[in-house]
Amino acid sequence: MTEETDSARPKRSARAPNRFGEGPSTVATRPSQAQATTSRLTRTIDPVQQLQTLLTSPKSALTQVDITDIFNAGTWDMLPEEARARLCSLLPPTAFAGFVPTIDPMHSSRTQHVFSDSNPQDIEVDTEAPAPAVSLDMLDTSVFTDGHFLAAARTFQDHVYTGWMADTHKEKVKTYETGVQDGVLHAPWKDEVWERDHTSSGNTEQPPAASSQQSEASARAGDAAELKLADLAKNGVIKTGDVLVYKRTFSQLDTIVEKDVIIQSIHPKNYSVTVLIQPGTARELPPELLRVDPPDPDAPTKTMTVTSPNMLENGILDVDGRVERGRRPNGNAWKSLSVWRWRQHPEGDLDMLAFLERGGRENHGTLFYLRGCYYHDR
């Protein structure tokens, strides 16, 4: 059979033959099952729900596209005027031509100056006051290619993709913020995260080298926590005459509490620590108590005997009076207390020394740091 004969042979149609009683016009007008399903889904989609899915679902189509294909000057011009007017209210003043933010040296508030062809005068506008009305033609479309705008748009894509825009995640954030404000929740401390990630598991078999490294890491972070304040007092890590400086920020109350206490004595048997503290919110101690041989304290100085850093922290906050017990979040008091001590026994004019910062003492580190150093050096 020649090639010419093969090319002349008619091709066989792959279309299924018509059923009995069905003409060509009947088959052509009957929609397929897939087409019917698509048509039915199109009719039942709620536009509001579809928009909600696009803006919040991790499976949103917005997470799979180049965001510049959506946010650009071309799509902006395609929007109706009403939609553009609403979007303009969400843009900063710097997105509009004629707004030049400046700092007026004669005023403490931030000001702006408005210029336009129709209004050549310089009009000062206080940014703390309601922003003046802007027209759509004042929008500088280069905002869509600005690096800050694109970074914010791509961050929005990331948040949608990771599920941060979903209602379930927003509810978790709300619960956490409420817990922080009420003082029942707190972000984990770095040492807590480290201990959690490096705690060795007894049921997991590891290579000898890895097991040795993990055991050593666990000892560095966890075993030192077995030491108590009495152990530090017993072994001279803290001494009579040391100033313990407390400082902690309570962000939910926008309050910083700072207070100095001085170790007056250490019990010879149970090694409890007695400190002197000033009443109220006073931070510094009287100069006479910072001397090498201080006199007996007089009113209004108070004494306090403690056996742990947490006990000392609560006592300080009780005396300060600004943070109620129910508003105090959990925290590591070992990291909020620093030890100030003379490098050696001071000499010279001791009376003048008392008027230097904390009696001429130097910062030796937090109780947390000193506890770790003592644990590894003993």
User: What is the tens place of the pLDDT at every residue in 266-315?
Assistant: 999 999 999 999 999 999 999 889 888 888 888 899 999 999 999 999 99
**Dist CA 310 CA 341 (whole Å):** 21
Q: What is the pLDDT of residue 100?
A: 58
Q: What is the pLDDT of residue 308?
A: 94
**Dist CA 113 CA 98 (whole Å):** 8
Residues 6+ apart with CB under 8 A from 296: none
As a dihedral over the C-alpha atoms of residue 59, residue 65, residue 66, residue 68, rounded to 10 degrees, the angle is -90
Residues of the chain with pLDDT under 70: 1-43, 98-135, 186, 188-222, 344-355
pTM beyond 0.75: the answer is no
Within its chain, how far is the Cα of 243 from the centroid?
Answer: 33
Q: What is the pLDDT of residue 256?
A: 92
Q: Cβ distance 304 to 315 under 8 Å?
A: yes
User: What is the tens place of the pLDDT at every residue in 323-357?
Assistant: 998 888 888 899 999 999 987 665 655 556 666 78
Domain limits, the chain: 46-96+137-164, 97-133, 166-200+208-221, 229-377
In the beta sheet, which residues pair with residue 363?
A: 340
Sign of CA dihedral 114, 116, 118, 121: positive
User: What is the tens place of the pLDDT at every residue in 110-119?
Assistant: 444 444 444 4
Task: Read off the tokens for 50.
Answer: 């579809």
Mean pLDDT of the chain: 77
The order of strands in the sheet holding 337-341 is 302-306, 273-277, 255-266, 243-250, 337-341, 362-366
As a dihedral over the C-alpha atoms of residue 247, residue 250, residue 255, residue 257, rounded to 10 degrees, the angle is -20
Q: Cβ distance 283 to 258 under 8 Å?
A: yes
